[in-house]
Homo-oligomer: A and B are copies of this chain.
Amino acid sequence: MKVGLFGFGRAGHDVAEEIINDPDCTLVWVVRKSQEKNHKFASDFLGHPNDPQGEFFCMEEAMDPDFFKKNPVDAIIDFSSPQGLYEYARAADEGIHIVSAISHYEDREIAFLKELSKKTAVLHSANITLGINFLLVASQILQQIVPNADIEVIEEHFREKKGKSGSALKIAQKLGLDPVEHVNSIRVGGIVGKHEVVFGLPNQTIRIAHDAISRKAFGAGALFAARALKGKKTGFFTMEEIMRKAFFKNIHVNAILT
């Protein structure tokens, strides 16, 4: 799979590393704001000087109108900024799939992405790790199986993180929990990111937990999403839906039971 990346900040940097390390993927190019390093190899910058994949940096402003035709990829992964999406509108015309992991879009940007999804397959998810989306889907299923369970979300992050985590809020929303009451935020030291959903029953407790070790987990999620879009012509998807489908495919219910 040939991938183009938008964004080379802290997350983009780690995601590029993850794409380069994936034996089935090639990072063809990285589009970034800063002019610095224009046309240099991302892999060189990431400490893989002897194994360039041909990927290069391109400054956003310097993008040729035919950039996507001249530098074709199967999917664009976007870890840039809420405005990044306007730069790859033309990619949708080429049928290039779009995976956006931008956290905070305005309604206008969501509407624009949905427009693009009429021309190509688009996936947007603010919480793109496999782990968080596993929590999201497994928790919703478990809640329906044990509707009388008490549920709390505990999330732990580094001290500087402001507010409750977006992933925790999403989980709470999907489970119908008041976030003020039921999302417990621990802010200490340098914890990368931990989420735990606790289901309390009178005689047993079930916990589903996700520990992020590095931001490269975003990259693994984005690639999982990009692979899930393969073969699709158009449509707007979320990572939760992809995960839900993965559950569905792998349940293998005995015919006698259905």
Contact = CB atoms under 8 A, between A and B. Distances in A.
Interface residues of A, number: 71
Contact of A146 (B130, B149, B202): B130
Interface string A103-140: 00000000000000000000000000111001101101
Contacts of A247: 141, 145, 247, 251, 253
A93 interface: no
Contact of A130 (B144, B145, B215, B235): B145
A203 B220 contact: yes
Interface in A230-258: 235, 237, 241-254, 256-258
Contacts of A202: 189-190, 213, 216, 220
A203 B129 CA distance: 10
Contacts of A220: 201-204
Contacts of A152: 186-188
Contacts of A235: 256
Contacts of A134: 142, 145, 206
